[in-house]
């Protein structure tokens, strides 16, 4: 095969070589995020393991791919994990066909696995307030940092990867907003409540004390060693405060994002605005949050129906 200059291009002759070239292309040309590349790599390593690294890419059949899906099922992989694997395989073979390595794409014959429609896990007002108060109550790790971390997650709807990469230079001068880089390298504005800004004011002086002058860092959240806090570190912090030592209602960082979206929509925010704030490319993703809790339905009924009970509705709100 010849490239644009007319010279002969080396065609990868086995699955391992094709996967390595594919990952390099996705990272250097398409500029995909580290998390996306890691996901591709993990799934395609399974493909190489089960079909053999030396397997010619042109000899892979739809039955081979179904065999791999069967191996995932044997390992009790969730439907979402199986479909993610298939998506990575489809991307790989689409790449191979685009560049003329194959003429037949076997991945197109393999169907995705049906997934149960699960509602996003979100917290009630009292649950999120309880969790945000845990750093002060428990003194487990670093009180001011962890309080600021929780408040920023809740008020902005950021992904954990976005929060871990947030730098001081990304903030507006009054700390009311910041620019984060989301999936696909897309920038968007996120906003912070007075509670979040007050928590930041408590944290920033302490942060400065942990910064090594010879190795300054720009990331907002750091660990006790003065180095940037990773997404994994944030997950660990949340697991400590939401586990047995804290609320004993384990949640993931994404629960803050779900709670943010649910609260915004339940309180009348336009779905397009919420879509922009969350950084969703498709509004169908945002529509998952349009579910309404039973309590909210009762409140709406009591407000609207002539024989409803507005007094009871007011007392319900006062306890939240």
Which residues are catalytic, by number?
A: 159, 183, 254, 257, 280, 289
Write out the DSSP string of 161-189: HHHHT-BGGGB-TTSSEEEEE-GGG-EEE
Alpha helices in the chain (DSSP H): 15-28, 34-51, 62-74, 79-98, 125-138, 143-156, 160-164, 194-210, 231-242, 253-266, 271-278, 283-286, 294-304, 310-318
Distance CA 320, CA 318 (A): 6
Phi and psi angles of residue 178, each rounded to the nearest 5 degrees, phi first: -155, 160
- In a 3-state reduction of DSSP, which class is residue 98? helix
3-state SS, residue 109? helix
Q: Map residue 228 onto helix, strand or coil.
A: strand
First to last CA, the chain: 67
Cα distance between residue 4 and residue 9, in whole Å: 10
The number of residues making up the chain comes to 320
Give CA–CA dist 290/280, Å, rounded.
Answer: 14
* CA-based nearest residue to 180, from 188, 169, 171: 188
* Rounded CA separation 50/307 (Å): 65
């Amino acid at each position: 095969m010849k490239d644009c200059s007319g010279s002969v291009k080396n065609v990868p002759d086995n699955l391992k070589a094709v996967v390595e070239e594919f990952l390099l292309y996705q990272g250097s040309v398409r500029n995909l995020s580290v998390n996306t590349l890691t996901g591709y790599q993990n799934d395609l390593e399974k493909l190489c393991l089960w079909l053999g690294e030396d397997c010619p890419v042109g000899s892979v059949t739809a039955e081979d791919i179904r065999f791999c899906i069967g191996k995932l099922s044997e390992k009790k992989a969730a439907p979402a994990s199986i479909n993610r694997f298939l998506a990575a395989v489809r991307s790989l073979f689409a790449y191979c066909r685009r560049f003329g390595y194959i003429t037949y794409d076997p991945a197109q014959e393999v169907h995705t696995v049906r997934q149960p429609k699960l509602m996003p896990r979100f917290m009630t007002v009292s649950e999120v307030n309880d969790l945000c108060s845990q750093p002060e109550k428990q003194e487990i790790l670093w009180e001011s940092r962890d309080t600021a971390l929780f408040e920023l997650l809740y008020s902005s709807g950021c992904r954990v990867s976005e929060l871990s990469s947030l730098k001081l230079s990304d903030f507006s001068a009054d700390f009311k907003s910041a620019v984060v880089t989301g999936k696909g390298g897309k920038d968007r504005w996120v906003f912070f409540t007075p509670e979040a800004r007050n928590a930041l004011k408590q944290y920033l002086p302490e942060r400065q004390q942990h910064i090594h002058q010879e190795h300054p860092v720009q990331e907002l959240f750091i660990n006790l060693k003065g180095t940037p806090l990773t997404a994994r570190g944030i997950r660990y912090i949340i697991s400590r405060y939401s586990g047995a030592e804290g609320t004993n209602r384990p949640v993931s960082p994404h629960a803050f994002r779900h709670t943010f979206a649910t609260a915004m929509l339940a309180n009348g925010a336009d779905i397009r605005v919420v879509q922009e704030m969350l950084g969703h490319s498709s509004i169908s993703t945002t529509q998952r949050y349009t579910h309404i809790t039973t309590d909210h339905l009762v409140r709406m009924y009591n407000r609207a129906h002539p024989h409803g009970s507005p007094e009871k509705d007011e007392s319900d709100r006062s306890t939240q």
